[in-house]
Chains A and B, each alone.
Chain A
Amino acid sequence: MYAMERQVSGLKRPSRRASKGLITVGVALVILLVASGLLAPSSLSQGAVLGMLPFASVLAVVGLGQMLVVQQGGIDLSVPGAVSLAIVIVSRIPNGDNALLVPAILLAFGFAAAAGLLNGFLVGRLGLNAIIATLGTNALLFAAVLGISGGSPTTTTRLLQSVAGGLSFGVPNSVFFAAAVAVVVILLVKKTVAGRRFEAIGANPVAARATGLRVRVHQMAAYVWGQMLYCIAGILLAGITAQPTAFQGNTYLIPAVAVVVLGGTSLLGGRGFPLATVVAAVFLSQLDQFNLAVGVPYAVRTLVQAAALAVGVALYTIDWSRVRARFGSSTRSTKPKPTPSPA
Chain B
Amino acid sequence: MMIRKRILSLTVALGLSAVALSACSSGAPGADAPVPTGTVAGAPSWCGPKQITLGLLDGFGGNSWRLITTAAGADEVKKCPSVTKYEYADGQGDTQKSISDIQGMVAKGVNALVVFPDAGEAMLPALRSAYQAGVVTVPYRVNPGGKDGVDYDAWIGADFSQDGTNWANWIEKNLPDGGNILFMSGPKGNSQGEDEYNAMTGILDPAKYKFVGETPFEPTNWDPALSQQVLTAAIAKNPKIDVIVSDFGPSLLGALPEFQKSGRSIPALVTSDGNSLGCFYEQNKAANPDFKMMTVATGNDNVRLAVQYAVAKATGGQLPSTTKFEAPIFEDSVSSTPNPVECKSDLPGDIFLSAEMPAADQAALLKK
Q: Which residues of A come within 8 Å of B, CB atoms?
A: 40, 42-43, 45-48, 50-52, 55, 95-96, 146, 150-152, 154-155, 165, 167, 237, 240-246, 248, 251, 288-289, 292-293, 295, 297-299
| B276 engages A246 (CB within 8 Å) | no
A152 touches B232 (CB 8 A): no
Contact with A along B280-302 (1 / 0, CB 8 A): 00000000000000000000000
Instruction: Return the CB mask of B202-238 against A: 1 if under 8 Å, else 0.
Output: 0000000000011000010001111011111111110
Which of chain B's residues have a CB closer than 8 A to the CB of A151? 61-64, 66
Question: Is B326 in contact with chain A by the CB < 8 A criterion?
Answer: no
Q: Give the residues in chain B near A251, CB-CB below 8 Å.
A: 223, 225-226
Q: Give the residue of A52, A165, A289 whose beta carbon is less than 8 angstroms from that of B254.
A: A165
At the interface, yes or no: B262 with Cβ under 8 Å from chain A?
yes
Determine whether B354 belongs to the interface, using a CB cutoff of 8 Å to chain A: no
* B360 contacts partner chain A, Cβ-Cβ < 8 Å: no
Q: When A and B form their complex, which 9 residue pairs have the shortest distance between CB atoms, in order from nearest? A: A151-B62, A51-B232, A47-B262, A292-B233, A155-B349, A48-B236, A242-B254, A151-B63, A42-B236
A55 to B255, CA, bound (A): 12
The answer to whether A154 touches B350 (Cβ under 8 A) is: yes
A47 (CB) vs chain B CBs: closest residue: B262
When distances are taken between beta carbons in the complex, the residues of chain B under 8 Å from A299 are 188
Which residue, of A47, A95, A295, has the highest number of chain B Cβ atoms within 10 A?
A47
- The tally of CB-CB contacts under 8 A between chains A and B is 125
Closest to B237 in A: A42
**B36: Cβ under 8 A from any A Cβ:** no
A-side contacts of B368, CB under 8 Å: 150
Interface pair B254/A47, CB less than 8 Å apart: no
Complex contact B223–A248 (CB within 8 A): yes
Which of the residues A45, A55, A154 comes within 8 Å of B225, measured between beta carbons? A55
The size of the chain B interface, using a CB distance under 8 A, is 40
Most buried by B among A46, A48, A248, A295: A48
- Asked if B214 and A240 sit within 8 Å, CB to CB, the answer is no
Which chain A residue shows the least CB distance to B348? Answer: A154
Q: In whole angstroms, how far apart are the Cα atoms of A293 and B225 in the complex?
A: 17
Give the complex CA separation of A298 and B213 in angstroms. 11
A45 partner, pick from B67, B230, B250, B262, beta carbons under 8 A: B262
Q: In the bound complex, how far is the Cα of B223 from the Cα of A46, in angstroms?
A: 24
- Judging by beta carbons under 8 Å apart, are B276 and A155 in contact? yes
How far is A165 from B354 in the complex, measured between Cα atoms in Å? Answer: 29
B237 touches A293 (CB 8 A): yes
Given contacts A50-B261, A242-B224, A245-B223, A155 and B253 within 8 Å (CB-CB): yes
Q: Does B251 contact A (CB under 8 A)?
A: yes
Question: Do A51 and B214 touch across chains, with their CB atoms under 8 A apart?
Answer: no
A51 engages B258 (CB within 8 Å)? yes
Q: In the assembled complex, which residues on chain B have CB atoms less than 8 Å from the CB atom of A48?
A: 232-233, 235-236
Asked if B254 and A298 make an inter-chain contact with CB atoms under 8 angstroms apart, the answer reads: no
Main secondary structure of the interface of A (DSSP, over half): helix
10 extra A-B contacts, CB within 8 A, seeds A47-B258, A241-B254 = A43-B237, A47-B236, A96-B349, A152-B350, A154-B64, A155-B253, A155-B348, A243-B250, A251-B225, A293-B233
A333 to B345, CA, bound (A): 81
Candidates B230, B232, B349, B350; contact of A47 at CB < 8 Å: B232
Taken residue by residue from 330 to 349, chain B's Cβ proximity to chain A (1 for < 8 Å, 0 otherwise) reads as 00000000000000000011
- Minimum CB–CB distance for B297 against chain A, Å: 19
B355 to chain A, nearest CB (A): 15
Contacting pair B214 A43 (CB below 8 A): no
Distance of A152 Cα from B366 Cα, bound (Å): 9
Contacts of B64 in A (CB 8 A): 150-152, 154
Chain B, Cβ-Cβ closest to A297: B214
Distance to closest chain B CB from A170 (angstroms): 10
Assess the A95–B348 pair: CB atoms within 8 A.
yes
Return A267 CB to nearest CB of chain B, in Å.
26
Contact B237 A298 (CB under 8 A): no
Q: How far is the CA of A47 from the CA of B224 in the complex (A)?
A: 18
Residue of A40, A154, A240, A293 near B228 (CB, 8 A) is A240
State A322–B261 Cα separation when bound (angstroms). Answer: 51
**Docked complex Cα distance between A212 and B313 (Å):** 78
Establish whether residues B63 and A295, one from each chain, have CB atoms under 8 Å apart when the complex forms. no
Nearest A residue to B259 via CB reads A47
What residues of chain B lie closer than 8 Å to A289, measured between beta carbons? 229, 232-233
Q: Which of A51, A95, A154 has the most CB of B within 10 A?
A: A51
Closest to B66 in A: A151
Do B229 and A240 touch (CB < 8 A)? no
A165 surroundings in chain B (CB, below 8 A): 254, 257
CB distance from A55 to the nearest CB of B (A): 6
Question: Can you identify 16 A-B contacts, CB atoms within 8 angstroms?
Answer: A47-B263, A96-B348, A96-B349, A150-B67, A151-B61, A152-B366, A154-B64, A154-B350, A155-B349, A240-B254, A243-B250, A243-B349, A246-B63, A292-B237, A293-B236, A295-B213
B224 to chain A, nearest CB (A): 4
Taking a contact as CB atoms under 8 Å apart, the answer to whether B276 and A243 are in contact is yes
Q: CA A288 – CA B229 in complex, angstroms?
A: 8
Query: Residue B63 contacts which of A42, A45, A152, A244 (CB distance < 8 angstroms)?
Result: A152
Enumerate chain B residues within 8 angstroms of A245, measured Cβ to Cβ. Answer: 223-224
**Closest Cβ of chain B: how far from A237's Cβ, in Å?**
7
B94 to chain A, nearest CB (A): 13
Name the residue of chain B whose CB is nearest to the CB of A251: B225
B residues in contact with A240, CB < 8 Å: 225, 228, 254
Give CA–CA (A293, B230) in the complex, Å. 9
B233→A43 contact, CB < 8 A: yes
Which B residues between 46 and 67 are near A, CB-CB below 8 angstroms? 61-67
Is the Cβ of B350 less than 8 Å from the Cβ of A155? yes
User: Given known contacts A47-B232, A167-B261, is B237 in contact with A295 (CB within 8 Å)?
Assistant: yes
